[in-house]
Amino acid sequence: MSFSIDEPYPQTLPDDAIGPDSNKVRWIGDPTHHLTVSKKPVSYTPIMSSGNSRRDWYEGRGLWQHVSAEDWKNWGWQLKNRITTQEEIERYFTLSTAERKGCYFANKKLALAITPYFFNLIDFKDEDCPIRRQVIPRIEEMETSPEELLDPCGEDGNMPVPGLVHRYPDRVLFLVTDRCAAYCRYCTRSRLVSNSQGYDFHPEYEQGLRYIESHPEIRDVLLSGGDPLLMADRKLDYLLGRLRAIRHVEFIRIGSRIPIFLPQRITPELCEILRKHEPIWMSIHANHPRECTLEVKEACDRLARAGVPLGNQSVLLKDVNDDVETMKELVHRLLVMRVRPYYLYQCDLITGSAHLRSDVLKGIEIIENLRGHTTGYAVPQFVIDAPGGGGKVPINPEYVKQVGEDAIVIRNYEGKEFRYSRHIGGARPEDPAETEVVEAPAGRILD
Ligand code: SF4
């Protein structure tokens, strides 16, 4: 489907559009009673080792051997030397036709930009490389499925001040920039990020700060964008200082993919600013174990030493991380980097993302195969951001099989069932559930 910058986004799904494949996960059993995900044979051969040995973690200048170590570690150099055109990419490898067409249209939808550091992680020989799928545009981005929206989370309707989203009573989302170090092809805010669609985003810092000051119910401010860590140190220091001066703001959170796209930005000076304005929490955004490199590990270490608790938000992406092996490897690596896997997002219904959107059931299958099978800290919460602004809804495999007046019947990660009395210090229930169950000791902890 062709697309012109002057035309509105197409609203219908063309016959040949690529959409989520709903046949890939098979469910067995009565879905209204208890959902059981079919278990395809899973090999746990590590994609990469999550061990601590330096040789297991990617590092180095890769294609940029000719560049001095000083330049390579300079985040300004990385930004200045970003790959931004099809011609630049094809100096290194040949794009597919779909990618070449995607590059042609990219700057009319969401800019194309990849830091040299992140570009090194692409497998040039693999058209389906999970890194490549995240940052190289494809023509499918110009197709819009009927269910897709320009503002899938309904943010624009909840902005009392440009750039400030106040949806939940006690917290706000403060969009402080529309720029990122690199651009993710499935970005929820592609309507405004990189300003390719003429949104003309201008965050009103002063108005936003005054709004927060005048709303004593706001105890938590999440800085996002774009990427807040692209702001210059002085500007960020000022903004954090203003926010910390508001008595009812208990803490600040930062959502950033900079540690993954541009770990060089996590300088000692930046860490000092973050330490100064503590408590600051940070959510980073890694989707695939290959993104956990030695440079990222060291950047996370600097943040952790500055007292910044780290969580990770992944987006479930088709043929990037929508399988158990990949996600297991990712969450293990994150823990080694002292990053707690926090959310696994179902990809929002953003325009032109159908080719990257995985089936919701894949996400449930992944959680089913993590919970109980590995460390509890490693299991993120799978969520759907309800379309239109309903907020995050947790999506879980079903562990409660029956709720009776006297007891509930639960199952564990192995599928074994247990009856747990609802009586508190009373007699045992007289009519146990019809299901044959194994008694579990009260208060049993699964992991
Ligand atoms: S880093 Fe975040 S805001 Fe920027 S393009 Fe990626 S998802 Fe969007």
Say if CB 245 and CB 218 are below 8 A apart. no
> Is there an atom of ligand 1 within 6 Å of 193 CB?
yes
Number of residues that this document lists for the chain: 447
CATH number attached to the domain at 1-383: 3.20.20.70
Task: Classify residue 139 as exposed, middle or buried by CB count within 10 Å of its CB (0-12, 13-18, 19+).
Answer: buried
Q: What's residue 119's pLDDT?
A: 98
Amino acid identity, position 438: V
Phi and psi dihedrals of 406, rounded to 5? -105, -25
Interatomic CA distance for residues 116 and 427, integer angstroms = 67
What 3-state class would DSSP assign to 194?
helix
Compute the distance from residue 187 Cα to the ligand 1 centre, in Å: 5
- CA 190 – ligand 1 centroid, Å: 8
- Quick one: pLDDT at residue 428? 55
Check pocket membership of 189 for ligand 1, CB cut-off 6 A: yes
Q: Residue 165 is encoded by which pair of tokens?
A: 């989203």
Catalytic residues: 167-168, 171, 180, 184, 187, 189, 348, 385, 392
For 139-161, write each residue's pLDDT tens digit.
999 999 999 999 999 999 999 99
What DSSP element (H or E) covers 299?
Answer: helix 294-305
Q: Look at residues 85, 78, 84, 88 and name the one whose alpha carbon lies nearest to residue 115.
A: 78
Q: List, by residue range, all CATH 3.20.20.70 domains of the chain.
A: 1-383
Tens digit of each residue's pLDDT (9 = 90 or more) over 198-248: 888 888 899 999 999 999 999 999 999 999 999 999 999 999 999 999 999
Residue 265 Cα to ligand 1 midpoint, Å, equals 16
Distance, CA of 268 to CA of 279 (rounded, Å): 17
CA 147 vs. chain centroid, Å, equals 21
Which of 155, 183, 261 has the most ligand 1 atoms within 8 A of CB, as the residue to mutate? 183
Residue located nearest, by CA, to atom 7 of ligand 1: 187
**Which residue has the CA at smallest separation from atom 8 of ligand 1?**
187
Q: Are strands 407-411 and 400-403 parallel, antiparallel or unpaired?
A: antiparallel
- pLDDT value at residue 51: 52
Which two structure tokens, joined as six digits, stand for 71? 């330049």
pTM of the model: 0.84
Tell me if 38 sits within 8 A of 28, measured CB to CB: yes
111 lines ligand 1 (CB under 6 A): no
At a CB cut-off of 8 Å and minimum separation 6, what does 200 contact? none
pLDDT for the residue numbered 426: 58
Before 226, cis peptide (omega within 30)? yes
CA of 194, closest atom in ligand 1: 5
User: What Rg value do the Cα atoms of the chain yield, rounded?
Assistant: 23
- Contact between 336 and 300 (Cβ < 8 Å): no
Query: Ligand 1 center to residue 113 CA distance, Å?
Result: 11
Q: Which residues contact 140 (CB under 8 A, 6 or more apart)?
A: 17, 18, 98, 102, 352, 354, 355
Cα–Cα dist 57/44, whole Å: 18
What is the distance between the alpha carbons of residues 298 and 306, in angstroms, rounded to a whole number? 12
Dihedral, 107, 108, 110, 114 alpha carbons, nearest 10 = -10
Cβ of 184 below 6 Å from ligand 1: yes
The pLDDT of residue 11 is 27
Structure tokens at 193: 């990020």
Ligand 1 atom closest to the CA of 261, numbered from 1: 1
| Burial 301-336, CB ≥16 within 10 A → b, else e | ebbbebebbbbbbbbbbbebbbbbbbbbbbbbbbbb
- 189 CA: nearest ligand 1 atom: 8
Which of 82, 189, 312 most suits a substitution to test ligand 1, by most atoms within 8 Å of the C-beta?
189
Q: Is 113 in the pocket of ligand 1 (CB under 6 A)?
A: no
Q: Are 337 and 297 in contact (CB under 8 A)?
A: yes
Low-confidence residues in the chain, pLDDT < 50: 1-49, 432-435, 440-447
